[in-house]
Amino acid sequence: MQISGNTKMMGIIGSPVSHSLSPFIHGFFAKQFSDDVIYTTFDVAPENLSAAVRGAQALGIIGFNVTSPHKSNVLKYITALDISAQHISAANLLKLTDAGFIGYNTDIYGVQMAFRHRDIDVAGKKVAIFGASGTGRAAGSAMAQEGCKKITFINRTRSKAELAASMLKNHYEIDISVCDIESFDKVDDDILIMAVLPGIVPRNLQRFPVIFDANYSPSGCCPEAFGGLEMLVYQAAQTYEILRGIPVPKEMVDEALNILLNGGGHAN
């Protein structure tokens, strides 16, 4: 694609972020649509987050995804929140408007569609979520909306798990509880969602019939484990529609996902 003075800019902020597959996914969508837009990464340290958001607004960047460690802290610097982000106090997408940036959460949709893509029915199931950050809270919201019976948050810092549970209880009438990390070995729910940084893998996960890992590479602890590539591509599709006003058809989502599942599109 030839860049011109009319080319729009999108991107993703986080730290680290150079490994992100989002530039490939959005570049793929833009190419299919012949859309005059580019998407790149911005490595932003926590102490520079405020300046980065102000700078993006001043430069007219039409929107950007937000990843670790900024999904909660970025809320301090935006104008308004879409209901998706309000429920869990975490935004992974900012859209520029005349009044400033509006925060959205497309991770919720990404998790929902990842399970649907694998034909995994969540209704009536008990779900354990290991991790209570923005991703964990988004996963909890997704599971509640899909009709699960119970959610249990497990986190190294119990207060963070309690906060996540409290947020969801304000919006969903299901059983939501907290488990100390020392008691995790006793948890035997139907589904385990791993929503922590890569490399944090609890022991003895084989007892869970279904394991979802929000990271790109699944833990691989049992044959049913699957990774976060589906989540990533589907949330990207919703992101693209919000920022560009162009719905991404399922066939295009599946094509991008198949490229990634076969090892393509990876950052060097």
Please choose, from the candidates 128, 68, 118, 63, the residue with its C-alpha nearest in 3D space to the C-alpha of residue 231.
Answer: 118
Token pair of 216, please?
Answer: 């790109």
DSSP letter at 236 equals H
Q: What whole-number distance in Å separates Cα of residue 54 and Cα of residue 209?
A: 45
Check if 150 is active-site.
no
- Beta strand 93-97 with 100-104 is antiparallel
Please choose, from the candidates 169, 129, 174, 170, the residue with its C-alpha nearest in 3D space to the C-alpha of residue 152.
Answer: 129
3-state SS, residue 212: strand
Q: Which of 31, 71, 149, 160 is catalytic?
A: 71
Q: Where does 46-135 show beta strands of DSSP type E?
A: 63-66, 80-81, 93-97, 100-104, 126-130
Task: Give catalytic residue positions.
Answer: 71
